[in-house]
């Protein structure tokens, strides 16, 4: 099957992005955009975001914040189509069609759905949450994407996407490539306050570091990070998480701390101070670019429109092909 190597990924506009979003996913988005010969589609998945309780009056700001984070992280609108998911309505139509191929049993087994179902009051467990992975599959398949840069918590959703591609191809003829996940090194960043859970925007503020966090706040958040939950003589998950982050942003200083950890002489306060300094340096250029972009909102909204035009062309063509193959009049 002849396909253009394409990349698609998305992030929910549920607030400012954090270190986990960047180190787990966004960093790879930027890298893949600069890799020849990919064509990249990156979207702000607002339709996914409304499966959780949210404030309508804050929604537009959240979308804008996410766009700023994308651009400040290095996404280049000249190279990648950057757009808002709900602006390309074909995603939703394809989702409906894919729903007819998605076995209930498979959706019920999705870990994220099961986790959210456990965490939420029964009335907040809506059908959108259940169908969330099918919309994600439609986001990917509508561009016939071959590679999807995500964090490892999304691998199960990717597997479902591959399954739906296979089912469609089998039933209606070869149409979709089976997309592959692209993980970053150190793909999962954990919460600072509860290192058994992943860093998450829906958690308390002190559990994550946003990409535009001020150096003082980085320092105070890291100071309070949990580091002592491991068995005696072992590096606990909290300290390991800090070393993972350091390993990505300043690998040269990791061996020293690892050696000290082995010898049992490591002082976690030193590790935290050092990581806070390196993080502030690492995120400094990001903060500056973000502040500059925030002062030009029209430019940002305009480029989301341009991204939409680019994306819609491909999405429309795929949907026509899909409906033809499915026998629609």
Q: Which of 15, 24, 238, 307 binds ligand TYM (CB under 6 A)?
A: 24
9 lies in the binding site for ligand TYM (CB under 6 A): yes
Listed residue (282, 259, 281, 283) closest to 271, CA to CA: 259
Q: Which of 82, 98, 142, 150 binds ligand TYM (CB under 6 A)?
A: 150
Residues 163-192 that bind ligand TYM (CB under 6 A): 187-189
Nearest residue to the partner ligand TYM, using Cβ: 24
Catalytic (active site) residue 201: yes
Residue 275 has which token pair? 């990581």
Strands (E) in 127-278, as ranges, are: 147-149, 180-182
Give the residue with the Cβ less far from ligand TYM, 40 or 266: 40
Q: Which of 6, 7, 11, 176 binds ligand TYM (CB under 6 A)?
A: 11
Q: Which of 6, 7, 15, 21 binds ligand TYM (CB under 6 A)?
A: 21
Instruction: For helices 268-294 and 215-223, give the axis angle rounded to 10 degrees.
Output: 150
Decide: residue 170, CB within 10 A, 0-12 exposed, 13-18 middle, 19+ buried: exposed
Residue 70 has which token pair? 């994308």
Catalytic (active site) residue 223: no
In angstroms, what is the minimal distance from the CB of 44 to ligand TYM? Answer: 9
95 lies in the binding site for ligand TYM (CB under 6 A): no
Cα–Cα distances in angstroms (integers) from residue 199 to residues 211, 224, 265, in the given order: 13, 15, 27
State the residue for tokens 């009335």: 123
140 lies in the binding site for ligand TYM (CB under 6 A): yes
38 lies in the binding site for ligand TYM (CB under 6 A): no
The active-site residue out of 16, 27, 144, 201 is 201
Cβ pair 7, 39 in contact under 8 A? yes
Listed residue (90, 20, 2, 69) closest to 245, CA to CA: 20
* Residue 277: Cβ within 10 Å count: 15
240 lies in the binding site for ligand TYM (CB under 6 A): no
Residue 114 has which token pair? 């099961």
The footprint of ligand TYM (CB under 6 A) covers 8-12, 20-21, 24-25, 45, 48, 136, 139-140, 148, 150-151, 153-154, 187-189, 198-199
- Hey, which residues are catalytic here? 116, 198, 201
């Amino acid at each position: 099957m002849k396909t253009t190597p394409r990349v698609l990924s998305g992030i929910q506009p549920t607030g400012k992005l954090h270190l986990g979003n960047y180190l787990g996913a966004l960093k790879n988005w930027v890298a893949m955009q600069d890799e020849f010969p990919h064509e990249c589609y990156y979207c702000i998945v607002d339709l996914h975001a409304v499966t959780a309780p949210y404030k309508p009056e804050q929604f537009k700001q959240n979308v804008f914040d996410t766009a700023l984070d994308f651009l400040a992280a290095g996404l280049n609108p000249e190279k990648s189509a950057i757009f808002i998911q709900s602006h390309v309505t074909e995603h939703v139509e394809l989702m409906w069609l894919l729903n007819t191929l998605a076995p209930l049993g498979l959706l019920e087994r999705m870990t994220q759905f099961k986790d959210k179902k456990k965490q939420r009051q029964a009335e907040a467990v809506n059908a959108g949450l259940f169908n969330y992975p099918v919309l994600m599959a439609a986001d990917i398949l509508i561009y016939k994407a071959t590679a999807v840069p995500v964090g490892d918590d999304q691998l199960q959703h990717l597997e479902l996407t591959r399954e739906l591609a296979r089912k469609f191809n089998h039933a209606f003829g070869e149409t979709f490539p089976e997309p592959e996940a692209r993980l970053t090194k150190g793909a999962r960043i954990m919460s600072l306050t509860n290192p058994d859970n992943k860093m998450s925007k829906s958690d308390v503020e002190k559990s994550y570091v946003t990409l535009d966090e001020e150096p003082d706040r980085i320092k105070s958040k890291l100071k309070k990070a949990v580091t002592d939950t491991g068995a005696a003589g072992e590096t606990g998950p909290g300290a390991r998480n800090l070393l993972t982050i350091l390993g990505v942003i300043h690998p040269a200083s990791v061996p020293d701390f690892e050696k000290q950890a082995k010898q049992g002489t490591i002082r976690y306060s030193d590790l935290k101070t050092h990581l806070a300094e390196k993080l502030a340096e690492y995120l400094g250029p990001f903060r500056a670019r973000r502040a500059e972009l925030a002062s030009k909102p029209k430019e940002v909204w305009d480029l989301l429109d341009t991204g939409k035009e680019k994306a819609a062309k491909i999405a429309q063509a795929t949907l026509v092909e899909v409906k033809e193959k499915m026998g629609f009049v």
